[in-house]
Structure 1
Amino acid sequence: MRRHQLFILFLISSICIYLLFVWYDQHIWKVSKSNYLVFNHSNFSLHCTGKTNRTFQPISDPLISVEEWELLVKNLQWSLPPEALSTKESTDATKCSFSIVNPDSNHMVGGFVDVTVTARDAQARRKTYGGDFFQAKLYNTELKASTYGSVTDHCNGTYTVRLSLLWPGPAEVSIRLVHSSEAVQVLWRQREQDPDKVFFHGYFEGGGKQETAICNAQRSTKLVGDGKQCCCDYIDSVTGDPWFCRRPSSLPCHSLYYHSMGGYQAVLTEAEKAILKSSTNIIVPGKNAINVQPQTTESKQFLSHKVTDKPVYNYRTLSDRCGS
C-alpha cells in the first residue's frame, strides 16, 4: 500500500514539474527572448515626404495581410541624396556631431534620453538632406551593459535618437555612422540595377559528360548574355523560388545535380569605390556621458502612467531574464 501511495505521489509531482516547465517556456522564456531582441539593433524611421526610392508590386501572398505588407514596404523606404555626389559632399563621421538633449535634467531608470545628431560633409558643411545610416547605443563598460536606440531621420541633415535608460549609474552614448547617405545610394543602385553581384556555378552531368554553367536567382542581363544559351528554369519544390542557369551546350537542363559559389561581379565606378571606402563604420564625436538615477516611488508612479513606444525594463531584470 505504501509503495502504491509513493508511486501516485511521484506521478503527480512529475506532472506538476512538466506543467511548470511548459508554462515557463510559454510565458517567461519566449517573452524575455523577444524583448531582448528589441534592444539588439537601432530602429530607423523616416519622418519626411518626397519620392520613394523603390516601388513594390501589390502583395498576393495569402499568408501576409495587406496591412503587414504596407508596413513592410514603409519600413524598407530610405531617403536618398538628390543626385550622385563625390566624396567631398559625402557625410564625414569625423565632421558630424551629436549632443544630448537636456543634459542637466534628471535621467531616471525606466525613462529615455534623447540625442540630436547633426550630419556634415567632408568640408564640414551641414547636410541639407537625410539618408545616412546611423547606429546609436547607450552602454556602461563596467557593468557590461548596453542597449540600442531608435533613430529618426528628419531629412534635413539632422537626426533624433531615443535611448532607453535600463540601469542606474553612469552611461555613455555612442553614435556610429555605418554608411553615409551617398554610400547608401551606391548600395541601393547596386541592388536595384545590378542585383546579381554574386553568381553561382551549376554543375551538369550525364552520359559520361560534365559541364559547368553560370546560375543565379534572377534572369539578369549578365545571366542571359546574348540569349543563345538562355536558359534552364527551375522551381524549388518546397519554397517555390525560381532558379536559372545558362543552358549547357550538350547536356539537358534536368542533368543539373549541384551548384556552388562562383564569385563576385559588382561593377563600381572609381567614385563609388571611394565613397564606399570613406567614412564607413566610424564613431561620431560628441559629449556622451550621463548619469542615470535609480527609480524612486514617485518616478515609478510617473513612469507607470507614461505611454512609450517600446517596452521598458530595469537592467537587472532584463539581464536575469536573458541569462546574462
Structure 2
Amino acid sequence: MGSRSMSSRKYAIFSCLTVLGLIATYLVSEKTNISTNFEPNSRVSQVKQSESVVVNFQNLLQQYLKVQFGSQIWRTFYPEVDALLGLIEDNKLKWPAPITKTTFAKFTELSVKNRAEGYAVGDTVVATIEAKNGLGERKQHGGDYFYCRLMSTTEKGDILATGVACDIIDHGNGFYTASAPLLWPGNSTLFVDLVHSSEAVAALVLESAASSAKDIHFISTYPSGEEVDCNVGLPPNPSRPLCNLSHPEKGSSWFCYSDSAGNCPNVTYTETTYDNRVSFVGTTPLFNPETNFKVAIQMQGNVIQVKNSTYTSDLLKNLPRCETESGMPERSFENKAGYQSGFYLNGQWQSLQCEPRLTALSPEQCLQNKVIYCLGDSTMRQWYFALKSHLQLNDNPTKIQGRPKQDVWQAPVLDTDLVTT
C-alpha cells in the first residue's frame, strides 16, 4: 500500500512539472515570439500561427541541453570545424552519432577528373572525395579530416622518392575537392587517407579544447619562473586575462593565461604533462584503425600519366635566392604551382619559395662557431635532440633564459595581446 501510494505521488509530481513546463514554455514563447517548433512539420506549416504557438517540448529541452564545445575564441581559426560544431550545438546534427552514421573509409570514394587531352607537367590534377558512413550513405555535412598526397610511382604502382602534398577543400556537404600541381613527368598516383571522421574531430574537441579533459596539460613558463596553463582555447578567468600567441596567417590558435600582474611576457619554455590514464583515442570506436582512423579510402582512376614539359625547370630558375629572413608563413604566397611551399624531388626537398643555397660543407664545418636556434613544436624538439647527439653540440643557456636545469627551451618572440572577450 505504501509503495503504491509513493508511486502515485511521484507520477502526480512528474505530471505537474510537465504541465508547468508546457505552460511556461507557451508563455515565454508568446511574450518573446520565439518559435519552439524547430523541426519542419507539414501539417503544422499549414496552420496560421498569428495568435498561437505550437510547442515541441522535446525540441525545447534539446535546445536548453545543447552540447557545448567550450570557448569560442579559437574557432575562427578553423572554419570547417566551427561549422561542424555549430550544427551539433544547433541540434541540426545528432550527437553522439551512432557509429554506423560516422564516416567509414571502406565506403568513402575518390574519383579523379581525367581529361581527354591528358596531363602535362604544369597542369593541376583535381579529384573528388565523397564521404560515406558505415551504411554506405553519403554524409550530408563536412568536417572530416583527410590527408592527400601525390606520389611518383612505377608502372607496377611502387612508390618512388618524389611527391607533393595536396590542397583539400571541404564543401560542407560530404564532398571534398583535392588538387595537386603536376611537377614531374611519368606516372603519378593520388593517395588519400581518412585520418579522422567528423565525429571523431568533435569528440577530440570535447576532450581537449572544450576543457572537458583534465588529464593533459600544456604548462608554459614566463621569464619570472611563473607557470601558467596554455591551450588552443581556454575558458575565461576573471583574475587572469588571456594572452594571445596565435598565428592567424598560419591558421593556428594558441592562448595562455597572463602572469599574476596581468601581463603577457614572452614564454621561455612549454611542456606537456599527462596524468595517469588510458589514452582517450584508444577507448572509443571513433578511432578504429580498421575503419575510420588513418585508413586509405577507395580510389577510382587515381593513376595519372604526365607528359614532360619545361614548366618546373622554368619555375625553379626564376625563384629568388633564399635568405635568412625570407621565411614565409603558410599561404602567404601563391604561384602557378598553387599554395605548396615545396615538394620532394628524387628524395631531396625542393623549395618553391626560393632557391636554396646548398654547399658541399660537412655539417660540422657549416655549423662551426655558430649559435643554433631551434624554434618550433615537438617535431623541432626531436630535431634538436638529434642534432645535439649527432654533432655533439653544446647548450648555450646564456643566449636565452630557459627553464632551470633543462636543455630544451622554446621562446616565441612575437608580442602578445591581451584577450578580454
Tell me the TM-score range normalised by the shorter chain. Answer: 0.5 to 0.7
Residue type matched to 1:146 in 2? G
CA contact (8 A) 2:343 2:350 kept: no
Counterpart of 1:273? Answer: 284
**Structure-2 change in CA distance of 1:108 and 1:274 (3 Å):** same
Q: Which runs of 5+ in 1 are unaligned?
A: 1-51, 59-68, 202-214, 222-232, 244-258
- Which of 122, 128, 133 aligns to 1:116? It is 128
CA contact (8 A) 2:103 2:131 kept: yes
Residue type matched to 2:276 in 1? G
Aligned mates of 2:161, 2:173 — CA distance in 1: 35
* More displaced 10-residue stretch of structure 1: 170-179 or 313-322: 313-322
Counterpart of 1:282? Answer: 295
- Give the aligned CA root-mean-square deviation in angstroms: 4.6
**Structure-2 change in CA distance of 1:53 and 1:163 (3 Å):** farther
Cα displacement (A) at 1:148: 0.9
**Structure-2 change in CA distance of 1:316 and 1:140 (3 Å):** closer
Aligned mates of 2:193, 2:345 — CA distance in 1: 26
**Structure-2 change in CA distance of 1:265 and 1:239 (3 Å):** farther
Counterpart of 2:110? Answer: 98
Aligned mates of 1:200, 1:57 — CA distance in 2: 18
**Greater RCO (CA < 8 Å, at least 6 residues apart):** 1
Aligned mates of 1:260, 1:135 — CA distance in 2: 28
Aligned mates of 2:274, 2:340 — CA distance in 1: 42
Residue type matched to 2:306 in 1? V
Aligned mates of 1:182, 1:314 — CA distance in 2: 32
Counterpart of 1:294? Answer: 308
Counterpart of 2:373? Answer: none
**Structure-2 change in CA distance of 1:285 and 1:107 (3 Å):** same
**Structure-2 change in CA distance of 1:77 and 1:285 (3 Å):** same
Aligned mates of 1:294, 1:103 — CA distance in 2: 16
Aligned mates of 1:274, 1:240 — CA distance in 2: 38
Cα displacement (A) at 1:266: 6.8
**Structure-2 change in CA distance of 1:54 and 1:114 (3 Å):** farther
**2:208 aligned with 1:196:** no
CA contact (8 A) 2:186 2:305 kept: yes
Residue type matched to 1:310 in 2? Y
Aligned mates of 1:73, 1:314 — CA distance in 2: 25
Aligned ranges for residues 48-127 of structure 1 at < 5 Å?
Answer: 56-57=72-73, 72=77, 74=79, 77=82, 79-80=84-85, 82-84=93-95, 85-127=97-139
Identity of aligned residues (%): 21
**2:177 aligned with 1:160:** yes
Counterpart of 2:150? Answer: 138
Cα displacement (A) at 1:200: 9.4
TM-score (normalised: structure 2): 0.42
How many pairs does the alignment contain? Answer: 215
Cα deviation, 1:259-304, whole Å, max 9, x if unaligned, reads 9754347779x9x71222241100001121010111168xx89xx9
Cα displacement (A) at 1:151: 0.7
- Which of 171, 175, 186 aligns to 1:169? It is 186
* More displaced 10-residue stretch of structure 1: 272-281 or 175-184: 272-281
